[in-house]
């Protein structure tokens, strides 16, 4: 396989589409997989020759095996970006909503990872980037099964990294924060919600799909050849800001028994 292939799931929309486009710009041929046929067609129209699209349900084992078998060789990179969110308070959450989040976000990430990693292992190299979320790091109310599924993605990536390091495969997670794209479009269409959320981020802006694509391409690259098993949070500082806004009296510049 002379060309460097990158498989991108969830490439028919939002962040995945931007990651696919950025990968092509960086010299990869992209296998773009999604359930969303129209989204894939729009992607192909924008990217042209650089990508091959395929309708593939990442929760369907036979479909994933067929998609991997159709690749001309072992991909250099896999980006697991397909995901769903179904909101609702846990007390009333229907089992179907819980199971959908777990099945797509966690089981789908496992299934595609396992199938692609078998090809990477045979080639003795590969880089996998699983897209989680800051919801996998800090719980958000009413996120349904999303929080547990994304926390699962973080741990799954660590386990994959440990099991597959000796095979030449690196595995890392990217945890996007408040991203102005894709599944969050409906949230940021509300001007007041947008203003409050922007204000909560230490860097005072929402993230973009490009912020995520840049991070993914770094982790895929040789510059990251010594990085595996890590979760890189791309959130403008949001998840580190717990203590950022606590007041302290201006006159107090030391505390404790020896304070002077
Ligand atoms: N947008 C955000 O604010 C944000 C924040 C943190 C994390 N993320 C994560 O980033 C990833 C991309 O999200 P997005 O905002 O671009 O959302 P999106 O809804 O625009 O894209 C997700 C894509 O996944 C596809 N998909 C869903 N189920 C699938 C399945 N079974 N098989 C194949 N494809 C399937 C959808 O068709 C869709 O094209 C997701 O994993 C999401 O959880 C997004």
* Tens-place pLDDT, residues 56-102: 999 999 999 999 999 999 999 999 999 999 999 999 999 999 999 99
pLDDT of residue 260: 74
pLDDT of residue 2: 62
Does the structure show a pLDDT above 90 at 37? yes
Does the structure show a pLDDT above 70 at 227? yes
Delimit the domains of the chain by residue range. 5-238
Domain 5-238 has CATH 3.40.50.720: yes
Q: Is the CB of 10 under 6 A from ligand 1?
A: yes
Place of tokens 């924008």: 46
User: Among the atoms of ligand 1, which is closest to the Cα of residue 176?
Assistant: 6
Percent of the chain residues past pLDDT 70, beyond the cut: 99
Give the pLDDT confidence of 132-161 residue by residue, as tens digits. 999 999 999 999 999 999 999 999 999 999
- The answer to whether residues 171 and 160 touch, using CB atoms and an 8 Å cutoff, is yes
The Å distance, Cα 182 to ligand 1 centre, comes to 7
| DSSP secondary structure letters along 168-232 | TEEEEEEEE-SBSSGGGHHHHTSHHHHHHHHHHSTTSS-B-HHHHHHHHHHHHSGGGTT--S-EE
pLDDT band at 3 (very low <50, low <70, confident <90, very high): confident
- The answer to whether residues 92 and 134 touch, using CB atoms and an 8 Å cutoff, is no
- Tell me the average pLDDT across 120-127: 98
The Å distance, Cα 43 to ligand 1 centre, comes to 15
Which tokens belong to 158?
Answer: 């660590």
Give the pLDDT confidence of 174-203 residue by residue, as tens digits. 999 999 999 999 999 999 999 999 999 999
- Pairing of the two strands 5-9 and 29-34: parallel
Q: Is the CB of 79 under 6 A from ligand 1?
A: no
- Tell me the average pLDDT across 33-47: 97
The mean pLDDT value of the chain amounts to: 97
Element counts in the chain: helices (H) and strands (E): 9, 7
Percent of the chain residues past pLDDT 90, beyond the cut: 96
User: Among the atoms of ligand 1, which is closest to the Cα of residue 104?
Assistant: 31
Residue 146 annotated to the active site: yes
Does the structure show a pLDDT above 60 at 118? yes
pLDDT band at 111 (very low <50, low <70, confident <90, very high): very high
- Tell me the average pLDDT across 235-258: 93
pLDDT of residue 258: 87
The Å distance, Cα 48 to ligand 1 centre, comes to 22
- Interhelix angle for 108-123 vs 61-69, to 10°? 30
Q: Using CA positions, which residue lies closest to atom 19 of ligand 1?
A: 183
């Amino acid at each position: 396989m002379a060309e460097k292939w990158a498989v991108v799931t969830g490439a028919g929309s939002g962040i995945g589409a931007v990651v696919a486009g950025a990968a092509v710009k960086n010299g990869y041929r992209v296998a773009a997989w999604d359930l969303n046929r129209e989204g894939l067609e729009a992607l192909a129209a924008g990217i042209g020759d650089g990508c091959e699209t395929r309708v593939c349900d990442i929760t369907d084992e036979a479909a994933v095996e067929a998609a991997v078998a159709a690749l001309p060789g072992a991909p250099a990179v896999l980006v697991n970006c397909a995901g769903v969110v179904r909101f609702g308070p846990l007390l009333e959450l229907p089992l179907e909503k819980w199971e959908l989040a777990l099945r797509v976000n966690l089981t789908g990430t496992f299934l595609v990872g396992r199938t692609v990693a078998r090809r990477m292992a045979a080639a003795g190299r590969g880089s996998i980037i699983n897209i989680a979320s800051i919801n996998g790091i800090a719980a958000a109310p009413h996120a349904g099964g999303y929080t547990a599924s994304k926390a699962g993605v973080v741990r799954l990536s660590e386990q994959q990294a440990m099991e597959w390091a000796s095979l030449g495969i690196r595995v890392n997670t990217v945890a996007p924060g408040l991203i102005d794209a894709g599944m969050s479009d409906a949230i940021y269409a509300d001007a007041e919600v947008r203003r409050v959320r922007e204000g909560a981020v230490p860097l005072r802006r929402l993230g973009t799909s490009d912020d995520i694509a840049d991070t993914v391409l770094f982790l895929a690259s040789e510059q990251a050849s010594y990085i595996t098993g890590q979760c890189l949070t791309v959130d403008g500082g949001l998840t580190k800001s717990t203590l950022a806004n606590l007041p302290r009296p201006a006159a107090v510049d030391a505390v404790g028994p020896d304070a002077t």
